[in-house]
Amino acid sequence: MSGRVFLLGDGVSTDAIMPGRYNVTTDPDALRRACLIEARPDFTETVQPGDVIVAGRNFGCGSSREHAPLSIKRNHVAAVIAASFARIFYRNAVNIGLPVIRCADAHRVLRDGDEVTVDALTGTITTPTTTLHGEPPSGVALRIIEAGSLIDLIRQGGWAALEGVQRVS
Amino acid sequence: MGTITEELFSRRLGHDVHAGDTVIAEVDVAMAHDVTGPLAIEAFRSLDLPLWDASRIVFNFDHVMPANTVAAAELHRVIREFCVEHTITNLFAEGICHQVMVDRRLARPGGIVVGADSHSTTYGGLGCFATGLGSTDIGVVFATGKTWFRIPETVRIEVRGALPRGVYAKDLALHVIAQMGADGADYCAVEWGGEAVAAMSVDERLTLSNLSTDFGAKTGLVEPDAVTFAHSGDDPFELRPVRPEYLRTLVVDAERLRPQVAVHPSIDNVHDIDDVAGTPLDEVFIGSCTNGRLSDLAIAASILSGRTVHPRTRTVVVPASRGVYLDALSAGYIETFARAGALVLNPGCGPCLGRQHGVVGPGERVLSTSNRNYPGRMGSPDAQIFLASPAVAAASALAGAITDPAALEPAL
């Protein structure tokens, strides 16, 4: 899938993605409109399906609010690519089927507005001039991604669906 | 054999587990609050499975309680109706979820607790493996009682010596966060130990475990001891590291610590108080799941007693829970705060997350005893947030500027 890069920095918190004043709701459209509302006010006005967010270290740090990855997903972002992700954000994104790719260099190599093609399953990020190899989810996270979401995985076979992954007991 | 985390999970699962293993484990309790609860309920409903165990599911109204908007009231209604439908009686509106979990002994030493809030790590101060998850994970626990864990590697924080007078668990935690970086313990467990930690009250240990999530940790554990069991009421048992292999050990010399301040815009931008003393403040907030407990209010009251807060600095005090509030009333702290000109609000999250009261405006500076100073956390993204101990907060409220309590006249 191809799209444009929205480039963000290090330590983008879930407060930046979805400020506390905007997440007192579960309404998908309200969450979509509030995504990055202060950190990147042009985001929801200009984002197109297939665009990607590229960021530095510790993306999604702070609050466990799932409203943050949900709001990104509702904007039809193809993937979030970051040098590293905060634990809860990463797990939440996987659980709801928002593609996430770890890539140490993407935020240094790519510029805001660059055209990229992303393969979320292999972690390959391609531009007209270069190819980057990121790290897609593996292990349990990959099983969840393959099922579609954590809800789908549990529906398809309960926790037994995870047997055989890294010595699950 | 292993770290506290490995020992705890090995015991619970009945066989040895090690860092790097992935396990599926039943939890003791699953908790959600008024903001994360409705999404967890949606996730649970989409599974179309029966409820796991009504007695082990807990909801707390704390983030926006009482409701200040129709939207917030609607979230509360969704949770109330769910609790009626499933005869869930653990629905509380008496303060911050994490303090209520401790007050009501829903989190216990040696237990496994998950909460739809990142600061669920707080119960680690009791020797409970506790971690924050998102709403979907919690919704699945509502149906199955289980979740998956990757057994984390452990970072050991070994604190040698005793904390000097006027230096507290908050200062220690901020110092460690500065050393480790805001993602320094990402995906890891943190063990807090050593003389200074052994000498701490449960309140202070909860502060350490609470702040563990703010440098990325999955959980922040303190070995349970006589202090723990006296507080929890459980029969004592041993849960300690046995020939552990740590990913990293950070040794801290407690006696060298000074009061610390985390300066806008990140929690690892930590300075000795002398670097930022004199910075004028528009607001001081004393409270939160980090520092809203009785011992925190006692420290603040001892500094504010007989004095008046600076007129330019609105000072907001929020007891962490009804239990803390009642104890603070009995001890006379609430009257002290009121006479000092502070605004005492009902137990709950208060100004910490900029959603209800005490919201800060553009260009304002606020010093808070809470845990996050991200831009926009407490209101305007153009406000600056400083994080410090209740002692620094109270002294700063009096001076209207960031102040070392030791510098107050007459000396304390």
Domain boundaries, chain B: 4-253, 262-407
B118/chain A closest Cα distance in angstroms: 5
Nearest one of B78, B87, B1 to B32, comparing CA atoms = B78
Q: Are the Cβ atoms of B216 and A24 closer than 8 angstroms? A: no
A95 to chain B nearest CA, in Å? 7
> Can you give the pLDDT at residue A162?
84
Answer whether B4-253 and B262-407 agree in fold: yes
The overall average pLDDT reported for chain B is 97
Query: What class, spelled out in words, does domain B4-253 have in CATH?
Result: alpha beta
Q: pLDDT at position B84, please?
A: 98
- Say if residue A167's pLDDT is above 90: no
> Which pLDDT band holds residue B294 (cuts at 50, 70, 90)?
very high
B7 vs A37, B15, B237, CA distance in Å?
44, 10, 13
Q: How confident is the model at residue B1 (pLDDT cuts 50, 70, 90)?
A: confident
CB-based contact, B374 to chain A, within 8 Å: yes
pLDDT at B356: 86
- The average pLDDT across A19-42 equals 94
Query: What is the average per-residue pLDDT within A14-23?
Result: 94
Q: Tell me, yes or no, if B247 comes closer than 8 A to chain A by beta carbon.
A: no
User: What is the pLDDT averaged over residues B74-100?
Assistant: 98
Model confidence band, residue B412 (pLDDT cutoffs 50, 70, 90): low
Structure tokens at B203: 């309140």
Backbone dihedral angles phi then psi of residue B330, each to the nearest 5 degrees: -60, -35
Mean pLDDT on B73-100: 98
Q: Which backbone phi and psi does A42 adopt, to 5 degrees?
A: -80, -5
Q: What does the pLDDT average to over B85-110?
A: 98
Q: Residue B411 above 60 pLDDT?
A: no
Amino acid B160: pLDDT: 98
How many CB atoms lie under 10 A from the CB of residue A158? 16
Spell out which residues of chain A touch residue B266, defining contact as CB-CB under 8 Å: 11
pLDDT of residue A16: 96
Per-window interface: A 109-148 vs B, CB < 8 A: 139-140
Q: CA nearest B206: which of B237, B232, B180? A: B232
- The overall average pLDDT reported for chain A is 95
Rounded Cα distance, A104 and A119, in Å: 16
pLDDT digits (tens, 9 = 90+) for B106-164: 999 999 999 999 999 999 999 999 999 999 999 999 999 999 999 999 999 999 999 99
Domains of chain A with CATH codes: 2-136 (3.20.19.10), 138-169 (no CATH)
**Backbone torsions φ then ψ of B363, nearest 5 degrees:** 80, -5
From B24, B140, B182, residue closest to A168, measured CB to CB: B24
Determine contact: B12 vs chain A, CB below 8 A.
Answer: no
Chain A residues within 8 A of B49 when measuring between CB atoms: 154
Confidence of residue A169 (pLDDT cuts 50, 70, 90): low
What is the count of residue pairs from A and B with beta carbons less than 8 Å apart? 154
Q: Do B60 and B31 touch, CB atoms closer than 8 A?
A: yes
Listed range (A19-23, A113-117, B78-82, B163-167) with the worst mean pLDDT? A19-23
Superfamily of domain B262-407: Aconitase, domain 3 (3.30.499.10)
Taking an 8 Å cut-off on Cβ atoms, the answer to whether A66 and B381 are in contact is no
Q: Is A168 on the interface with B (CB under 8 A)?
A: yes
d(CA A53, CA A78): 8
- Answer whether A157 touches B (CB < 8 Å): no
- Chain A stretch 92-111, residues whose beta carbon is closer than 8 A to a beta carbon of chain B: 92, 95-96
Closest partner residue to B136 (CB to CB) among A16, A151, A165 is A151
pLDDT at A166: 59
DSSP code at position A116: E
Chain mean position to CA B289 = 4
Question: pLDDT above 90 covers what percent of chain B?
Answer: 98
Among B35, B117, B140, the residue with its CB nearest the CB of A23 is B35
Instruction: Calculate mean pLDDT across residues A118-134.
Output: 96
Q: CB of B151 within 8 A of CB of B5?
A: yes
ipTM, two decimals? 0.96
**Is the CB of B183 less than 8 angstroms away from the CB of A58?**
yes
Residue B80 scores a pLDDT above 60: yes
As a whole number of angstroms, the distance between CA B318 and CA B325 comes to 8
Q: What angle do CA B396, B375, B121 make, to 5 degrees?
A: 80
Q: Is the pLDDT of residue A163 over 80?
A: no
Task: Note the pLDDT of residue B410.
Answer: 64
Question: Considering the entire predicted model, what is its pTM?
Answer: 0.97
